[in-house]
Amino acid sequence: MEIEGKRIVVTGASRGIGYSLTRQLCAAGAEVLAVARDEAALDALNGPVIPLPCDLGDRQARGALLEKLTGDLAPVDVLINNAAIQVEAHYPDDLPDAAGDIARELAINLEAPVHLSAVLMPHLARRPEAAIINITSALAFAPKAAAPVYCATKAGLQRFTTALRYQTDRSCPNVRVSEVIMPMVDTGMTAGRGHGKIAPDIAAASIVEALCRGRDRVLVGKTRAFAAIHRVSPALAARIVRG
């Protein structure tokens, strides 16, 4: 895909991977429809950016966002589902708001990308070339103990991405559905834990590569080795990350 001139939705655009991605897409000549909760951070983005404040965990807010994307802000060429949160939880403990944390994590990490993809797909199908890129994690292959819901959402998004690709391959091959599988990235979400993290700019560049080359799946950094281990020995892969 030629990025120049494309209108690209990026969720989680105000920080981390999304911030770097927005900058790189703008530099390549795209217009970015930047979605995030932090309105002030969105307004500070430079380049051809349309800020779209939205809490993706709120179904009504997503509905209003989609009305804009399919109405006054149409057409859209690309949707990049990047936004995610991770809540560490140990359920044998007495957690004060387990239900609220679970619902929000499910909504932002899984329900939102599925919802946005489903509603935008008929519109993307009418574009000469279009794409949906979903950002998953090595934890979709094997979960870690500390973040069970996050791992479940990334595994679910991986399966959704594959099934959606089956549909577009059959019905609208002009729409490429891709998955970018991330290792640990040095963002606010991972602050204070882990080691060997990659920079957000490197993570963002891998997403741009997936878009330009039309690749179904991009394994970033250490995820290539981890995926190979998982193919040979799922049990070993599980021991590596379980914590």
Catalytic residue among 19, 91, 150, 166: 150
> Is 150 part of the annotated catalytic residue set?
yes
DSSP tag of 204? H
3-class secondary structure, 35: strand
Token pair listed for 108: 């932002």
Q: Between β-strands 49-53 and 31-36, what pairing exists: parallel, antiparallel or unpaired?
A: parallel
Cα angle 102, 106, 110 (rounded to 5 degrees) comes to 165
β-bridge partners, 182: 137
Cα 52 to Cα 61: distance, rounded to the nearest angstrom: 11
| 3-state secondary structure (DSSP) of residue 20 | helix
- Residues serving a catalytic function are 150
